[in-house]
Copies of this chain bind each other. A is one copy, B any other.
Amino acid sequence: MKILLVYAHMEERSFNAAMRAVALERLQANGHEVQLSDLHVMNFDPVPRAGDFAAPSDPSYIRYDIEQRHAVATGGLSADIRDELDKLLWCDCLILQFPLFWFSLPAILKGWIDRVFVNGVVYGGGKWYDRGGLGGRRAMLAFSTGCFPSMCGADGINGDMDIILWPIQNGVLRFAGMQVLPPFIAWSVAYRDAAGRHQALEDYGRHLDGLETATPLAFHHRDDFGADWRLKPGIAPKAVGQAGANRDR
């Protein structure tokens, strides 16, 4: 497969840097072709700006998604966005690797999505979920966290990890049309000794071996929802986002 690894950690001596090294080595050993977007090294700007468009359709009133669509049509996307979008469209599988900050993506990675998941290409005009612009691709999260697994169980103090990841796994990756693979989570890294951290890296390598064969997470199909955007009667909820489906019927 062609794999795009988007990596977001500032420190070259970090555990995340070791994970990055494992991924690059393992993916190439497994015969994949890999491109790396190392966001801190690239000094990637995560903030959408008017300057992202060479010739906006209305410079006096920037509606970012409308200008994205216009820029796609006119070749006016800034070079840094265009480069990343080209990599995204090139890949068969997207891996986002990061430390979990405040139960979500670090800003530099969130901004990569805000700027590179461009309206008119990735989504918009009927392109969403099953019909998203990145259809046919796989995607996977790989992250470290200070949490212990029991904190993020279904009754854990931080809430269910499936719920914590829902806005990313459903709202970004699935929304854009991708098949979302089970994430790799390096738990409580700061509290583990060298052997434990070594074990986590071994586990990551094995997890990566399953990229082509792993069963994607279950999400509903677009057609499971009616004209009111709600699950059709008789469709049993199978994803955590709709798990409370019966609560207000």
| Interfacial residues, chain A to chain B (CB-CB below 8 A) | 10-11, 13-14, 40, 46-50, 60-64, 101-108, 110-111, 113-114, 117, 129, 148, 150-151, 153-160, 162-164, 166-168, 170-172, 175, 220, 222, 225, 228-231, 237, 239-249
Contacts and interface: CB of A to CB of B under 8 A. Distances in A.
B150 A229 contact: yes
B107 A111 contact: yes
Contacts of A249: 155
A150 B226 CA distance: 11
Query: Secondary structure at chain A's binding surface: helix, strand, loop or mixed?
Result: loop
B230 A150 contact: yes
B150 A159 contact: no
Contacts of A245: 154-155
B160 A242 contact: yes
A104 B60 CA distance: 27
* Interface hub of A50, A104, A107, A168 (most chain B Cβ within 10 A): A107
Given A166-B163, A171-B164, A229 B10 contact: no
22 contacts: A10-B64, A11-B63, A11-B64, A40-B47, A46-B107, A101-B110, A104-B104, A104-B105, A104-B171, A105-B110, A107-B110, A107-B111, A110-B110, A154-B246, A155-B231, A156-B242, A157-B229, A158-B229, A158-B241, A159-B166, A164-B166, A243-B244
